[in-house]
Amino acid sequence: MYKHILVAVDGSDTSNLALQEAIKLAKEQQAQLRIVHVAEDIPLNIDTEYALEAYQEAMRKTGEDVLSKADAIARESGLTPETKLIQIETLGHRVANMVVEEAQSWPADLIVLGTHGRRGFNHLLMGSVAEGIVRISPKPVLLIRGK
């Protein structure tokens, strides 16, 4: 049924649950697994070039670390995943859009991601990448709720 499963990770416990579910599905379906992390390289309030470069390097390094850990978990489960660090370098691009674009261009049959299930004021402040993906994705989306 699913031959290409894309899972978006951010290193949180919730995204690790989504990774575990994506691994389980990929093994059951004998599907290719692609693990992605989106790094936002565009800070709005850094006014020196040095600070901006340090910030961007830290975001890349963090993303690479998240992907490396996720890759190791998938490999321990017997899979050979692909990993991809997606960097937002243009103001106005959003994480949800970048995940959906990657799912379409790869092409994924399913997107798996964790959701923190924020509600009320926290949802208003933080927004929801998962909700954004569900709203715009032409691909099926499997949300894994955090504990």
The mean per-residue pLDDT over the stretch 116-128 comes to 52
- Residue-wise pLDDT for 50-91, tens only, equals 677 787 888 899 999 999 999 999 999 999 999 999 998 777
**Which residue has tokens 């697994």?**
33
Which residues does 94 contact at the CB level (< 8 Å), separation at least 6? Answer: 88, 132
**Is the pLDDT at 122 greater than 50, yes or no?**
no
Contact 109, 61 (CB under 8 A): no
CATH number at residue 124: 3.40.50.620
Does the pLDDT at position 33 exceed 70?
yes
Helices (runs of H) and strands (runs of E) counted in the chain? 5, 5
First to last CA, the chain: 28
pLDDT value of residue 42: 63
Number of domains into which the chain is organized: 1
Token code pair at residue 131: 């909700």
Compute, in degrees rounded to 10, the torsion defined by CA atoms 18, 20, 26, 27: -160
Cβ atoms of 36 and 70 closer than 8 Å: no
pTM for the model stands at 0.88
**Structural domain of 105:** 4-145
pLDDT tens digits for 137-146?
999 999 999 8
- Within 8 A by CB and 6+ apart from 146, the residues are 12, 13, 14, 17, 114, 115, 116, 117
